[in-house]
Structures are given as structure tokens and as C-alpha cells.
Amino acid sequence: MNRYLWCLAFVCHAATGWGQSLPDEKIVADAAEQLRYLVKYTEQSVQDSTRVSPRTLESGELVLVRRSDWTSGFYPGILWEMFELTKDEQWKDWAQVATARIAGEKSNGRTHDMGFKVYNSFGKGYQLTNDAHYRDVIVHAAKTLSSRFNPAVGCLRSWDHNTDKWQFPVIIDNMLNLELLFAATKLTGDSTYYRMAVSHADKTLENHFREDGGSYHVINYDPQTGEVKHRHTHQGHAHESTWARGQAWAIYGFTMCYRETGEERFLKKALALFSWLSERLPEDGVAYWDFDAPTIPNEPRDASAAAVMTSALYELDDLVPHKPALRELADRIMTSLTEDYRNKKGTNRGFLLAHSTGSKPHDSEVDVPLIYADYYYLEALLRKNGKL
């Protein structure tokens, strides 16, 4: 039975504040009210602009990004999530418009972020509409992404910038783009994409983790030999520290890889990451931006990392029977995000969550709303209720 009545997007508009210990139906209704503000401000700003999707706030004003930005797919993805949660056709209409704006990214071979951009928008849309055009965009994007695969390294190249630092950089974030490749194999029957994704995951498993279980952000490979040259960070506190969102990408990525392959080594890593997080997260479950940041507890939190972790934990709980600790941790983080990290309705241009951290070392997007935090928060809500 569907827990979410189709009319939830329209109810509870007179409610004041977010409240605490809210039932999920109320959370959805409140999110619908808040996100209507985001749609309003975004659509006003998009007109006659080359910038198509909201990313964050700067001095209280909405920041829009071009379709090539790695975050451009999260806004249409959120609209698809709201359609799935509410069954209100208005969200579908908005999602179709926002998704169409980034279709050209299917041919952008200068980036590894195809999963973030295309799968989180067109992929969500395809799941809900079975639109053949969306299928074609997904497959085209996977072909484009596959051009970044280096057989000697066994991975997809992440970045083309900072060539003075790295010859062939692979970042932990790239684990999430593998879902696009898995999808392409299912849609076409061509196992090439699947094999690339598994190879990349295996190399990440082999090279991206320290003995203590913490992850490195950037691995620099020799593109000719596949040898590891450096283990670095770009957004974490230090090369040997564990950047919170990187650890979140890791548990999410290996959980997804287990779902797609059934390979026990990926499940083992996902469960090891769960144990690592269980021992190191603060009491409310919302991570500081880096687990080794020098002045904890006087460091910024990262709600975006927490939202990614929560979504991963709910899926892992669904995949692994008889391990209640998984859902207990997911529920603890979800409760904290809902009760203590959401913006008041009508504020912050309609973003759902506050207190995320983009890149603390670059003093960029610190303690602000971030569009991907909202995306993974809603995805976690869907997974919590068996909707994904």
C-alpha cells in the first residue's frame, strides 16, 4: 500500500515550523511546500540564462550552474523524487523541463560526472516513465563515459585538470558514476560497460583505503603502467585524513556495486565501512566535514555527507537481512537531519537542508545548503519506506 497519498504536495500548507519526530507523510508534505520555493526561484532565474540548475546559496542568493557542472543533475533528480513521493503530476512536469535542459551533457567527454548528471536525472525519469528518449540519453552518456576508461589502470579517469599534480587521477567520488555503466549493460545487453564498472570498483577496493579503513580522496596512477604514484586529498584536511563525503561516497558506491553484481567482496567492504562509521560518527550521526579535522568539535558539519551515508545505509539494510544495526544507524542520522538540519519553511530559497560543506580547504561552500544534500536526503526517505 502506498504510504504517500497523491495529494500530500498540497496539504499542511498552514503548518508552522518543521516540528520534531515527524511521521514521514508530514516530512514529505513539508518538503513539497519548501521545494516549491526552490522551483519558483530557480525558474525565475533560469530565464534567459546559460545557467540551468541551482547548486547552493551565496550571501543568501541562489547560485545557478551551467549544465556542465557536476551538480546539474540533482535538481531535476529532486523533482523526479518528489513525483515519486507524491504522485503529483506537477512535479513530473517540472522534472521533465529541468531534465531536458541538461540533455547535451550526454556527449560531454571532458568529465567523469556522467552518473551524477545524467543518471540522477534521466535515470530517475526513465525509472518512472519508461520514456525511450531517456533510455537513449542514458546509453549515449554511458558510451561517452566509457571513453575515459584506461585498460592499463583499470579505471575511469576522474579529472583532466591539475596536470601538474596528477597524471591519471581517480577520486573516490567516481564510484557513484559506475551506476550509469551498470544501467547501460541492462538496457543494451552489452557487458562492456559492466566489466568497466567492476574493474573500476576492484581497483578502488585495492588502492583507495588505508589499513584503518579510512579512504583516500585522490589516487594518482601512471597511465602507462597502472602503478599508483600518489595518494592525495583535494577536499579533505590532509592526505592521510578521511574526508567525510569521500567516506560517504565509498559506502554508497560499494553498496550499489553489491546490488548490481552480487559480488561478496563489495558487500564485505560496504559492511566494513558501516562498522568504521559506527565507531567514528558523532552522537547525532552527522559527520564533521573531515573525520580528522584538527579542532573537532569546533569544525563545520557536512549534512550532505550524512545524507549520502543515510541513503546507503537504508539500501544496505534492505540487502543484508538480520542486521538491525544498519537501520538503527540510518534512522539515527535521518532523525538528526530532519529535526536539526532542515531549513525553516520559506527560508533559504527553498533548499531543504542546511549545514553542508563543499570544500573546506578552499573555503568554498562552507556551512551552506547544497543541492546534492537535498537529493540524497529525499532518496534516503524513499529507501527508508521501501520505495527504491
- List the catalytic residues: 113, 173
**In the chain, what is the straight-line distance between the N-terminal and C-terminal CA atoms, in Å?**
14
* Cα 46 off chain centre by: 23
Could you give the CA distance from residue 3 to residue 14 in angstroms, rounded to a whole number? 21
Nearest to 358 by CA among 121, 219, 173, 230: 173
* Cα 7 off chain centre by: 27
151 prior amide bond cis, ω within 30: no
Nearest to 345 by CA among 15, 23, 22: 15
CB 360 within 8 A of CB 290: yes
Could you give the CA distance from residue 14 to residue 76 in angstroms, rounded to a whole number? 27
Q: Which amino acid is at 249?
A: W
Furthest CA-CA distance within the chain: 63
Could you give the CA distance from residue 368 to residue 62 in angstroms, rounded to a whole number? 11
CB 377 within 8 A of CB 81: no
C-alpha cell at 350: 527553498
DSSP bridge partners of 126: none
C-alpha cell at 201: 570498483
Could you give the CA distance from residue 378 to residue 385 in angstroms, rounded to a whole number? 11
